[in-house]
Structure 1
Amino acid sequence: MQMRFDGLLGFPGGLVNPAEETLEAGLTRELSEELGVALPISVEDHVDSCHAPASSPSSSPSSPLITHFYVKKMEEEQIREVERAAVATATDHGHEVLGMVRVPLYTMKRGGGLGPFLSHSFIGNARTQLIDSLLRLNLVAPEELHEALTRSLKINSHTAEDLKATLALPAVKRKQL
């Protein structure tokens, strides 16, 4: 996955004009821009299509945005090549994309790993796409994923409490001045 310029986690991708290129050609172009490597994408890599969430800034009622999700299986050495290229040659690195992020497919004894990763902020339906892909590709057992999502929910509730307390600090400081 990627850390985006807006601080959200998401998958590489972008807008495609179907009058100018196929979805697969557009995704290959976007991957080249964001990852620095031209990964060939085929129709067989397509997993899902859906309307973008209503909160998406690119989506409007008059022209709804449709997202298409592709999954490309890769060997670890290919992933390392992509990670190296993303930093060295990707034209969007440091602009649209701040860096690549590996999804931890484990849970540590003290709770680290997938649970805390899932508690981060994701763009649109990227978290759902990730979870679906982890299950679809049998990368994480359903029970482990359930445990990680439960841990993520607990982390989010603690984070919300921390943010509320932090939000109150400026008001207290203003009153002291």
Structure 2
Amino acid sequence: MASGQLSRAEALVCSDCRHACHVMLYSDTKTRLFGKIPIKHIILMQMRFDGLLGFPGGLVNLSEETLEAGLGRELLEELGVALPISVEDHVDSCHAPASSPSSSRLITHFYVKKMEEEQIREVESAAASTATDHGQEVLGMVRVPLYITKGGGGLSSFLSHSFIGNARSQLVDALLRFNLVTPKELHKALTHSLKTNMHTTEDLQAALALTEAKRKRF
């Protein structure tokens, strides 16, 4: 078992740990970007209140609810719809990265649930209209682009954004585990993402220098 990974049974007996559950909702689709580029699958993530990308879900209190019941409660708050999550949807459990905010003794449980495209669209609609957390803890749902454009956009650019905790690694693992992209495609996207991050660092350094110059003037 990989470092940090836990079996479901091992995770559940850790009574002095906090537990958080998140889920990747996805569907197949035959739609094409610009009528040419196959989108293949719709995968939902969300922009969080802290500006980081993550999956729907949150903390669960095992003294009052099961992992799946707690995740369902969080989804109702964040997505505005009640979605049944089962043990069969569970993918893995692991200790949160030590560098994550509030990661002390936190175990994250990751689920993946496949839905019909129409159901995914209903979730997107409800998340923006009836969810109690919309505009507060959740700033909006986003789709993960699985294609790579000629200029290196799409999945490459998406993976270069900032993710909460282990959400990026959960996404990458799920893409491979459920054959949503090929290893070759994902390798290409990640390679380009590294280059994008280098340019982003340069841009941020330039912006910081400009800000510092302005700050000194005032």
- Same structural fold, with TM-score higher than 0.5 when normalized by the shorter chain: yes
Match of 2:143 in 1: 102
Change (3 A) 1:94 1:173: closer
Task: Give the equivalent residue in structure 1 for 2:35.
Answer: none
Pair 1:58-2:102 in alignment = yes
- Give the Cα–Cα distance (whole angstroms) in 1 for the partners of residues 140 and 149 of structure 2: 24
Please name the residue that 1:165 is paired with: 206
How far is 1:58 from its partner?
2.3
Q: Unpaired segments of 5 or more residues in structure 2?
A: 1-44
Between the aligned partners of 1:70 and 1:144, the Cα distance in structure 2 is: 23
The alpha carbon displacement at 1:111 in A equals 1.5
**Aligned residue type for 2:198:** S
The 3 A distance-change label for structure 1 pair 174 and 126 is: closer
What is the identity percentage for the equivalent residue pairs of Structure 1 and Structure 2? 82
Larger relative helix fraction? 1
Residue aligned with 1:50, SS: strand
Equivalent positions of 1:23-172 (< 5 A) are: 23-60=67-104, 64-172=105-213
Shift of residue 76, structure 1, vs aligned partner: 1.0
- What do you get for the CA RMSD once the two structures are aligned? 1.2
Could you give the per-residue CA deviations for residues 103-137 of structure 1, whole angstroms, max 9, x where no partner exists? 00101112211000000000000000000001111
Q: CA deviation at 1:88?
A: 1.0
What CA distance in whole angstroms lies between the structure 2 residues aligned with 1:103 and 1:6?
Answer: 19
C-alpha separation between the residues in 1 aligned to 2:211 and 2:131? Answer: 40
Decide which of 35, 57, 62 is 1:13's aligned counterpart: 57
Following TM superposition, by how much is the alpha carbon of 1:55 offset from its aligned partner in structure 2, in angstroms?
Answer: 2.2
The alpha carbon displacement at 1:176 in A equals: 5.5
Letter in structure 1 aligned against 2:78:
E
**Unaligned 5+ runs, structure 1:** none
Question: 2:193 & 2:49 partners in 1: Cα distance?
Answer: 23
Q: Which has the higher strand share?
A: 2
Secondary structure in 1 matching 2:113: coil
Query: The residue matched to 1:39 in structure 2 has which SS?
Result: coil
Taking the aligned partners of 2:211 and 2:134, their CA distance within structure 1 comes to: 35
**Secondary structure, aligned partner of 1:138:** coil
Alignment-mate amino acid for residue 66 of structure 1: I
**CA–CA distance in structure 2, aligned partners of residues 131 and 140 of structure 1:** 9
- Partners of 2:129 and 2:216 lie apart in 1 by 49
Q: How much has 1:100 moved relative to structure 2?
A: 0.4
- Deviation of 1:170 after TM superposition, in Å, equals 2.5
Please, what TM-score do these two structures have when normalized by structure 1? Answer: 0.94
The alpha-carbon deviation at position 175 of structure 1 amounts to 5.2
